[in-house]
Amino acid sequence: MKITIFAIGKTHSDYTNLIDDYLKRISKNVNIDLICLKEYGDEPKKEEAEIISKIKDKKFVVVLDKSGKEYSSEQFSSFIQSKIEDRMLNEICFVIGGSQGFSAEFLNSVSTVMSLSIMTFTHQMVRIILLEQIYRAFEIIKGSRYHK
C-alpha cells in the first residue's frame, strides 16, 4: 500500500520539521509521499487542472474539503484499514487544495470527500493534521498506546 498526498503550494519552513517527522513515522507502516503542486493564487481552475493531471490514473482519491464527511480518529483508522485490506487497491491519494477550494464538478468526480473539521485551518496546518491522523490511524490499527 502507498499513500500519496497532493497539496497546493510550498510547505513553509516553519512546518517542515514536523511534517518530516510524521512522514518518517508513517513510512514505517506504509510508503508515503507528500507532493507539493504549484499555487496559482486567484486561478483555482489552473490548480484543479494540475491536480486532475496528477490523479487521473489513481483508483482511490480522497479530497479534503469542508463539505466532506467527518470521521472520528477511530472511524478514520477503520477507513484506512479497509483500504489496506482491499486487494484491488494499491494506493490512496489525498488532495489538499488551495485557498479557493474546489468546484462541485471536481468534488463529484473523486472517490471520497472528507472534512477534518468544521473549523477552518490554514493549508499548512491541514498538512500536519492529516499526517498526524494518518499516523494515529496506523497506531490504532497496531493497538499501540499512542491513541488513548
pLDDT tens-digit series, residues 1-51: 999 999 998 888 889 999 999 999 999 999 999 999 988 877 888 889 999
Contact of 65 with 118, CB cutoff 8 Å: no
pLDDT at 147: 83
Share of the chain above pLDDT 90, in %: 73
E strand residue ranges, 38-145: 61-70, 91-96, 112-115
What single DSSP character describes residue 115? E
Please answer whether residues 54 and 91 qualify as being in contact, where contact means their C-beta atoms are separated by less than 8 angstroms: no
Cα–Cα distance measured from residue 123 to residue 148, given in angstroms and rounded to the nearest whole number = 27
- Tell me what the mean pLDDT of segment 74-87 comes to: 95
Q: Structural domain boundaries of the chain?
A: 2-142
- How far is the CA of 56 from the CAs of 22, 109, 111, in angstroms? 27, 10, 12
Residues 6 or more apart in contact with residue 21 via CB below 8 angstroms: none
Task: Specify the pLDDT at position 10.
Answer: 87
* Cα-Cα-Cα-Cα dihedral sign, residues 107, 3, 18, 39: negative
Q: Residue 148 has which C-alpha cell?
A: 488513548
**pTM: predicted TM-score of the whole model, two decimal places:** 0.94
CA torsion, ordered 118, 127, 11, 101, to nearest 10 deg: -40
Q: Does the pLDDT at position 148 exceed 80?
A: no
User: Which one of 3.40.50.2300, 1.10.1060.10, 3.40.1280.10, 3.30.70.3040 gives the CATH number of domain 2-142?
Assistant: 3.40.1280.10
